[in-house]
């Protein structure tokens, strides 16, 4: 007999099942069209060798404590210094993952008198950080610069005395489109505000040398940029770049930084090698660009839909169960594609999120699209 205390959880799960929204873990299977390993560095011999070399020279597996206690290893500090130089910012802080970094950022830096104006499609981790913030917050329609301006103006007219924080992703993880960063940076400047840019899906693959779409902006005192290390860089963790004063404030006030065991020093060593790989092997980015362009053109030709232009290719299905069936069918045919459903995306916009990485080639893309075209026709709502 199920304990009464568990019944409410079972009911919730059953409700999710009826709506086609219940999640379950699925193993890796088939050709990779779902990971964020854009430059195929996760299995890179260079990164493996870097970790082996770090172990050989005595770098520990675990940090042993938080950064403010004994967990502050020279590998962390070397990575932060090298990343600050690479991205052109005064300082970076290394976090265990992008989620922790976003929650720490938004729950700590905006103050009670401030306002956070964020794009409606910003990542869930940013939403969670904003929820924990003492600042007022308002969501605005996706990529609508006028709506950002109107929200700030309305706040000021209503007596807002602090500073506005504008929060966006440079490349959106579910739609694959870009934010108008130059216009938003100008808006932040006009209103004595700060612009937070999440570069998770652009770091390593876009911008000069892989510095992201914010490369021309990063380093300004009112620009805060998050670069994650578990996507194109092939490792894990996140680097938050900002004015040194803001970084020092996070060290002193961000609970997610203060009270977390520091990331493994071996992870920091691997990320350092990933940056060296970006510099030494520009052919990876060139091959990625070529494959990305091919995939976008092939998708538009096969399905007659407008492609994103990026490595993230959403195929809108709409119906939750149908999206799940099509994804399962493709995995059965050895193409690892996953269905994305509410609440990750808006109601009625269930989709297949196809990711293009150097783990595939043109022939795999073409074959996958042919199978997808057939599955969409045959798997009716």
Active site residues: 36, 123, 169, 173, 198, 201, 231
Q: How many CA atoms lie within 13 A of 64 on its CB side?
A: 8
CB 176 within 8 A of CB 296: no
* CA proximity to 231, closest of 213, 254, 204, 207: 204
How many other CB atoms are there within 10 angstroms of residue 316's CB atom? 14
Q: Strands 350-355 and 312-318, how do they pair?
A: antiparallel
Q: At what angle do helices 320-332 and 362-378 cross, to 10 degrees?
A: 130
CB 106 within 8 A of CB 130: yes
Burial of 367 (0-12, 13-18, 19+ CB in 10 A): middle
* CA proximity to 223, closest of 237, 205, 242, 208: 242
How many helices (H) and strands (E) the chain has is answered by 13, 12
Q: Strands 194-198 and 164-169, how do they pair?
A: parallel
Q: Find the radius of gyration of the CA atoms of the chain.
A: 22
Q: Which residues pair with 239 in a beta bridge?
A: 94, 227
DSSP per-residue codes, 243-312: -HHHHHHHHHH-HHHHTSBPPPHHHHHHHHHHHHHHHH-HHHHHHHHHHHHHHHHHHHHHH-----SSSE
Structure tokens at 60: 């520990």
Rounded Cα distance, 313 and 167, in Å? 23
Rounded Cα distance, 99 and 238, in Å? 9
């Amino acid at each position: 007999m199920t304990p009464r205390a568990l019944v409410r959880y079972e009911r919730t799960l059953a409700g999710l099942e009826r709506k086609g929204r219940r999640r379950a873990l699925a193993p890796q299977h088939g050709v990779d069209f779902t990971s964020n390993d854009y430059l195929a560095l996760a299995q890179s011999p260079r990164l493996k060798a870097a970790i082996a070399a770090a172990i050989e020279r005595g770098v520990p597996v675990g940090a042993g404590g938080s950064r403010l206690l004994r967990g502050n290893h020279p590998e962390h500090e070397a990575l932060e210094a090298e990343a600050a130089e690479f991205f052109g910012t005064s300082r970076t802080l290394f976090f265990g993952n992008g989620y922790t970094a976003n929650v720490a950022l938004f729950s700590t830096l905006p103050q009670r008198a401030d306002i956070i104006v964020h794009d409606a499609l910003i990542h869930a981790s940013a939403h969670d950080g904003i929820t924990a913030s003492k600042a007022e917050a308002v969501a605005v329609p996706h990529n609508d610069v006028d709506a950002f301006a109107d929200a700030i103006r309305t706040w000021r007219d209503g007596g807002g005395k602090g500073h506005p924080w504008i929060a966006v992703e440079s490349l959106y993880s579910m739609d694959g489109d870009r934010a108008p960063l130059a216009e938003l940076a100008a808006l932040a400047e006009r209103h004595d505000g700060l612009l937070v840019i999440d570069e998770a899906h652009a770091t390593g693959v876009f911008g000069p040398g892989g510095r992201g779409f914010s490369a021309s902006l990063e380093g300004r005192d009112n620009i805060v940029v998050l670069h994650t290390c578990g996507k194109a860089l092939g490792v894990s963790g996140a680097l938050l770049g900002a004015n040194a004063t803001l970084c020092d404030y996070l060290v002193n006030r961000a609970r997610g930084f203060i009270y977390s065991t520091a990331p493994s020093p071996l992870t920091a060593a691997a990320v350092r090698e990933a940056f060296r790989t970006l510099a030494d092997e520009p052919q990876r980015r060139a091959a990625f660009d070529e494959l990305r362009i091919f995939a976008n053109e092939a998708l538009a030709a096969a399905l007659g839909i407008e492609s994103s232009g990026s490595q993230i290719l959403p195929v809108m299905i709409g119906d939750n169960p149908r999206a799940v069936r099509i994804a399962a069918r493709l995995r059965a045919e050895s193409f690892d594609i996953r269905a994305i459903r509410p609440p990750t995306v808006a109601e009625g916009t269930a989709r297949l999120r196809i990711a293009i990485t150097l783990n595939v080639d043109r022939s795999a893309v073409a074959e996958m699209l042919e199978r997808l075209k057939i599955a969409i026709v045959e798997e009716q709502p």
